Structures are given as C-alpha cells and as structure tokens.
Chain A
Amino acid sequence: DAEGKHKDEL
C-alpha cells in the first residue's frame, strides 16, 4: 500500500 502511506508528511 504505497499510496496514502507517504501522504502524512509535508
């Protein structure tokens, strides 16, 4: 699940 996982960082 690559998508979404990195979205919490700015």
Chain B
Amino acid sequence: MNIFRLAGDMSHLVAILILLLKIWRSRSCAGISGKSQVLFALVFTTRYLDLFTSFISAYNTVMKVVFLALSYATVYLIYMRFRNSYDSENDTFRVEFLLVPVIGLSFLENYSFTPMEILWTFSIFLESVAIMPQLFMITKTGEAESITNHYLFFLGLYRALYIVNWVWRYHTEGFFDQIAVVSGVVQTIFYCDFFYLYVTRVLRGRGKMSLP
C-alpha cells in the first residue's frame, strides 16, 4: 500500500458516495446512466469473488464489501426506488457492444484459464469501458448537472492515481500487472477529454457543461 493507491481508493469511494448521495438527496436519478451503474455492479461482483477464497487484509475485505454494497444500493435507487425519474429514453447505449468484446477478450487474454481468473480479467476489461453509457448519455442530452461532473471527476482521478501507484510499485517492488495496467491506461484516456472540459468549464463557474 502506498499513498497513491490509498488516495486512488479514496477518490473511488468519494465518487460512488457523491452519486449515491446526489440521488438520495434529490430523490431523483435524472441524468444518471443506470446502464453504467449496472455494469459497475457487475464489475465488482465478478472481481470480488475472491472474498470467498482468499484473505488479503482487513482493509481489502472491508473496501470490497463497501464497494459491492454501495454499487448495489445505487442500482436499487435507480431502478426501484426512484425509477420514475430514471431517464431511460436517453440511456440508450447498446451494452452488448461492450459486453461481447469484453467477454471474448477475457477468454483470450488472461493469466490462467480458470473461471476465477477469466471473471477477474472480465471485470478489469469491463471496468475500463463501463462509463461509456454515462458519457454517451451526456453527449446525447448535451449537458450534465455539475454534481454528475464531480462524480466523473473523482472516478477519473481514481484511475489516474492508480497509474501513479503502478509506476511507484514498478520502481519500488518490480510489480507490473500487464492486464490491469493496459486496461487502466485505456480507461484513463476516456476521461481525458472530460477532465479538460471539467477544468475549463465546471471549475470556472459555469456549473453545467456539455460534451462536444
């Protein structure tokens, strides 16, 4: 554990909490892609199956359980509790276009051809593209509330900090996880355009912003 990794995990937690509290307080999930949130719940479910098979640390176990619980709570709020406010007409990204290649790739490129490893690889690949329905939705509607932008900012920051963590780990422990690093870099690239707009528009006080 290093400071970049810890800061990355904390930004991830902050992002998830921002989204959950936004929905809870406004009693509305308008502008939020339920599809992205289902994909994230699927990411955590397939990655954290090792909760049942191996113990790494108390921190690791607690964070996994928290991420799982929060992601399912978010999905519950969107599709059950506040489903009247769910903007399904604009959440039209075809998820199968992500799932089919991701499933295919996880069978082709993995550390060992076992169900657990294939599911772990699937979760890593899926996480790198899971935000696409949300970004697609913002592009379609032309704007997002600033709170949604803060959510995306912290999610992007989490990815960027993980890259710094990998650079650090490579130099200090010789650690290099090819699958995680390659898909992590791909994932972070998706946020670059957003980061630029966030800094130039949201932080300079316009509140709302639109993606080109």
Contact = CB atoms under 8 A, between A and B. Distances in A.
Interface residues of B, number: 20
Given A2-B111, A3-B112, A10 B54 contact: no
Interface residue SS majority, chain B? helix
A7 B54 contact: yes
B167 interface: no
11 contacts: A3-B111, A3-B112, A3-B117, A6-B177, A8-B57, A8-B60, A9-B5, A10-B9, A10-B12, A10-B60, A10-B64
Kindly state the interface size class of chain A when it binds its partner. Answer: under 10
Interface of A: 2-10
A5 to B, nearest CB: 7
B203 interface: no
A3 B115 CA distance: 13
B79 interface: no
B56 A7 contact: yes
Interface in B161-212: 162, 175, 177, 179-180
